[in-house]
């Protein structure tokens, strides 16, 4: 039977606890699990049987979360880990190797730009940053060493919407997986797999949990990519020495990537999500559709008001008819453009600092996707490490603030922005 999103966000992956009958998923706060006997232990370690060995690899609470997010995204499986940044490394890990590169959008969260432009060099990997509106440039950036294409569905901070279908066609033509960070949209607003994505990554810290209590990440596997179609992905197609020559794709088929993420990725990188964090995220997901609908409703009201205010120079919200990306909303994010966008303030850098210092309802924090409305000045915080050119490309120039519109009363949010803008631009 096929269920709707509102039903799946509550029930997918979860069943009453067989030991106690507990209706809510218990927090299995345990490190290890007792084997039935020596043969059972050997079968688990040989990947001949699915089960729990050690909570660095799998945990029953975390497994429910993985199944729920995979179901909501339309994937075959998922791996949960310790943060969104961990999810990005975990996603690339089976694909990359020394000398290999990923072609990435210029419109990415500043921390991702830093991770891709600086940190992954230590693995011998590299990234090529391209404007994903220029499909010819994306094609030109792909070479024999490219192993993935990476973008965000709704980009942080500007709320830019990527034409996923067009980018997926480029990746398919090159025989490469498309990885889409769906953090800002969530599967309620956008399902990248339906637009050709191979993998979907999330910072569960944000909208999935929705209450600012957890750091976590998820990698969702579409199960649709043929890892054996070329010799580019030996981690998945070639014999694995640690498992007596087992070939992940040959053995596990559509679930090859998911099993590799657990059996190799979590085993050796140790980016484990804790069961309590998974529990909080599961509770948050139960209200995901309700929250996202309100985020969108409020964002439209606030962005519309800001656009007409003479103290504001620009508003980047794709939900506005004036946005150059408005035509993508109905196709990529049919339920709305999300709750994240930026706006420019007359007076530049100094006015932005005064604005964030004078708000009362909005919280000045380095986070997004909370039920509370949040604001930050990227140029002095999240995008501070980037060059002026990189900041501009990421829609995070010195005159720009990013807002994550919460689920409060929209009129109260507008009044708060109004009084703070008065002080900032006096």
Sheet holding 101-105, edge to edge: 77-81, 217-221, 199-203, 178-181, 146-152, 101-105, 126-130
User: In which element (H, E) is residue 1 found?
Assistant: none
User: How confident is the model over 160-174, as a mean pLDDT?
Assistant: 98
The rounded distance, in Å, linking the Cα atoms of 201 and 256 is 17
Q: Is the pLDDT of residue 386 over 80?
A: no
DSSP letters of 208-219? TT-SS----EEE
pLDDT band at 265 (very low <50, low <70, confident <90, very high): very high
336 and 353 Cβ atoms separated by less than 8 Å: no
CATH class of 288-424: alpha beta
- Kindly provide the residue ranges of all beta strands, DSSP E only, lying in 250-329, ordered along the sequence: 312-315
User: How confident is the model over 231-237, as a mean pLDDT?
Assistant: 98
pLDDT tens readout for residues 4-24: 999 999 999 999 988 899 999
User: CATH number of 5-284: 3.40.50.150, 3.40.50.1820, 3.40.640.10, 3.40.1050.10?
Assistant: 3.40.640.10
| % of the chain exceeding 70 in pLDDT | 100
DSSP letters of 12-50? TT----TTT--SSPP----SB---SSHHHHHHHHTTSS-
User: How confident is the model over 231-258, as a mean pLDDT?
Assistant: 97
**In the numeric block, which tokens belong to residue 228?**
């054996």
- What does pLDDT average to over the chain? 96
List every span in the chain annotated with CATH 3.40.640.10.
Answer: 5-284
Closest CA to 368 of 201, 207, 213, 209: 207
User: How confident is the model over 258-271, as a mean pLDDT?
Assistant: 97
Between 84-92 and 110-117, two packed helices, what is the crossing angle to 10 degrees? 40
The rounded distance, in Å, linking the Cα atoms of 13 and 255 is 16
Between 288-307 and 410-424, two packed helices, what is the crossing angle to 10 degrees? 40
User: How confident is the model over 321-337, as a mean pLDDT?
Assistant: 97
Residue 130: what pLDDT?
97
Which phi and psi angles does 341 have, rounded to 5°?
Answer: -165, 175
Which residue reads 């946005």 in tokens?
323
List every span in the chain annotated with CATH 3.90.1150.10.
Answer: 288-424
Query: For residue 238, how many other CB atoms are within 10 A of its CB?
Result: 16
323 alpha-carbon distance from chain centroid:
23
Q: Is the pLDDT of residue 378 over 90?
A: no
- Kindly state the DSSP code that residue 154 receives in the 8-state scheme: B
106 and 130 Cβ atoms separated by less than 8 Å: yes
> Taking the model in full, what pTM does it have?
0.95
User: How confident is the model over 290-316, as a mean pLDDT?
Assistant: 97
């Amino acid at each position: 039977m096929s269920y709707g999103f509102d039903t799946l966000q509550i029930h997918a992956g979860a069943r009453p606890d067989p030991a106690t009958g507990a209706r809510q998923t218990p927090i299995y706060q345990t490190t290890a699990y007792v084997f039935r006997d020596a043969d059972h232990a050997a079968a688990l370690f040989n990947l001949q049987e699915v089960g729990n060995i050690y909570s660095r690899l799998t945990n029953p609470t975390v497994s429910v979360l993985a199944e729920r997010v995979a179901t909501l995204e339309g994937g075959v499986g998922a791996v949960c880990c310790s943060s969104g940044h961990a999810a990005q490394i975990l996603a690339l890990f089976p694909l990359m190797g020394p000398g290999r590169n990923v072609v990435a959008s210029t419109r990415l969260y500043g921390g991702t730009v830093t991770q891709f432009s600086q940190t992954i060099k230590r693995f011998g990997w590299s990234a090529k940053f391209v404007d994903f509106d220029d499909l010819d440039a994306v094609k030109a950036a792909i070479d024999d060493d490219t192993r993935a294409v990476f973008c965000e569905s709704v980009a942080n901070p500007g709320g830019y919407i990527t034409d996923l279908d067009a980018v997926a066609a480029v990746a398919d033509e090159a025989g490469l997986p498309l990885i889409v960070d769906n953090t800002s949209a969530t599967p309620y607003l956008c399902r990248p797999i339906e637009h050709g994505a191979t993998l979907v990554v999330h910072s569960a810290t944000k909208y999935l949990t929705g209450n600012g209590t957890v750091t976590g990440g998820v990698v969702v596997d579409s199960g649709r990519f043929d890892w054996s179609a070329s010799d580019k992905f030996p981690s998945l197609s070639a014999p694995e020495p640690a498992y007596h020559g087992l070939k992940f794709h040959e053995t596990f088929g559509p679930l090859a990537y998911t099993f590799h993420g657990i059996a190799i990725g979590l085993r050796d990188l140790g980016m484990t999500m804790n069961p309590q964090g998974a529990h909080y995220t599961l509770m948050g997901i139960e209200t995901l559709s309700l929250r996202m609908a309100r985020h969108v409703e409020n964002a439209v009201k606030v962005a519309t008001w800001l656009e007409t205010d003479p103290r504001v120079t620009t508003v980047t919200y794709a939900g506005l008819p004036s946005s150059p990306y408005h035509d993508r909303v109905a196709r990529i994010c049919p339920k709305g453009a999300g709750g994240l966008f930026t706006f420019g303030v007359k007076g530049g850098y100094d006015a932005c600092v005064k604005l964030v210092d004078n708000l009362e309802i909005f919280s000045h924090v380095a986070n997004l996707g909370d039920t509370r409305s949040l604001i930050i000045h990227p140029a002095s915080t999240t995008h501070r490490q980037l060059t002026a050119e990189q900041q501009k490309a990421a829609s995070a120039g010195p005159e720009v603030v990013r807002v994550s519109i919460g689920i409060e009363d929209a009129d109260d949010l507008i009044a708060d922005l109004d009084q703070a803008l008065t002080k900032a631009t006096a």
